[in-house]
Structure 1
Amino acid sequence: MAKNKFHSGRGPSQRQLRVGELIRRNLSEILNRGDVHDPDLNRMSITVGEVTTSPDLRVATAYVLPLGGDNAEDALALLRRNRVELRRALTKNLTLKFSPELRFQIDETFDRMDDTRRLFAKDDVRRDIETGASEGEDAE
């Protein structure tokens, strides 16, 4: 059976992780400095939580969220509208063979963390956790 060069099933490579973090930092700086010539985008404070890259490093997906989580869809539309200018500004700071195509998604990590906190705060869940912890102590 032929090995699929685009997905090994093991997750991202060290190079993908390194390049993703480099893009995340540079993109954050570009947005914070207001290097884009769009006053609507420059008025927003946008957090870049993570950037994932394709195995060939030609596509970078940035997971973003505006400060406070308000107007997330508007921020996404503005980023998508300015992705060519963002890509150009990013290319100036990176020394990659190819300038990656930028894609943007809403970062839902914070929502999932809030959901997890709410779940652990429920009385029946706390009781189960405490019961499991005390049973684990008895086993020692």
Structure 2
Amino acid sequence: MLRVGERVRHEIAALLSRNEIIDPLLETVTVTVPEVRMTPDLKLANVYVMPLGGENAEDVVSALNTHAKFIRGRVTPALDLKYAPQFRFFVDKTFDEYGRIDAILRSERVQRDLASDDDSED
């Protein structure tokens, strides 16, 4: 599943970089594909995307879901799978999670705890 997901991610990223999808919104934005999660039967691919800068993320995902059949037709021949997986696009929330965790680690409370651990080691 992981290997196929990585191949799907690579092929979709290549397709998006070539601007083959005719859509006014998708033509004006750069989209990254950080992750693709495949179902165990490899028939469904959940594709997580994020436009550069994070602006209009929901609109970009909606446009990609609108063009999912076109994307499927362009990507699946390169995958050499028994079944052509269906693609569902979602906004990637991991960047938000990274920011939240980073803010927690930089908080005064955590810094105070880290400083007290350093003092006790001396």
Q: Looking at CA atoms only, which structure, 1 or 2, has the larger radius of gyration?
A: 1
Matches within 5 A, 1:74-113: 74-113=59-98
Q: Which runs of 4+ in 1 moved over 3 A?
A: 132-135
Give the gaps of 5 or more residues in structure 1.
Answer: 1-15
Higher relative contact order (CA 8 A, sep 6+): 2
- Structure 1 residue 132 displacement after superposition: 3.8
Query: How big is the shift at 1:19?
Result: 0.3
Aligned partner of residue 50 in structure 2, secondary structure: strand
Q: 1:31 touches 1:42 (CA, 8 Å); kept in 2?
A: no
Match of 1:67 among 52, 55, 64: 52
Structure 2: segments with no counterpart, 5+ residues: none
Query: Aligned equivalents of 1:112 and 1:65: distance in 2?
Result: 13
How far has the Cα of 1:47 moved from its partner? 0.6
SS of residue paired to 1:22? helix
For residues 95 and 56 of structure 1, the distance between their equivalents in structure 2, rounded to whole angstroms, comes to: 15
Q: Percent identity?
A: 39
The more displaced of 102-111 and 123-132 is 123-132
Question: Cα RMSD (Å) of the superposition?
Answer: 1.5
TM-score by length of 2: 0.92
Give, in angstroms, the shift of residue 133 of structure 1. 5.3
